[in-house]
Amino acid sequence: MVVLVDARNVLRSQWPNIPEKRLVELCAAWAARNARQVLVVFDGAAPGVGVGTEELDEHTTVVGTGAESADDWLVRHAPGLAPVQLVTSDRELRGRVGASADTVTGGGRFARELQEAP
């Protein structure tokens, strides 16, 4: 299963916000522990990547969408990546991705899971 992370939604789901680079590190560690593929998708530029897509390791890819919104990128790519777990608390995005997402996890819940791991 591919895990699509709405990065800005997740990092802003807690106070203080999770720093961008730290979110990527936490997602990479989580993906390795859980043997999952994770795509961490940022509006605009992604930390360490800028605009574009960079595979960080065998489990983690980071995307900076540039002028396209992360929501639009996720809606466009989700159907081709099935099965998909969408990570966001954005109800509009959940609706737009629709049946392309096999499961949906809230951004706050996922952030807590990332930070509670050993």
The pLDDT assigned to 99 comes to 85
Q: What is the pLDDT of residues 26-60, one digit of tens each?
A: 999 999 999 999 999 999 999 999 999 999 999 99
Residue 21, exposed/middle/buried by CB under 10 A (0-12, 13-18, 19+)? Answer: exposed
**What does pTM read for this prediction?**
0.94
Say which CATH class 2-103 falls into.
alpha beta
Name the residue ranges covered by the structural domains of the chain: 2-103
What is the spatial distance between Cα 15 and Cα 24, in angstroms, rounded to a whole number? 17
Q: What is the pLDDT of residues 59-84, one digit of tens each?
A: 999 999 999 999 999 999 999 998 99
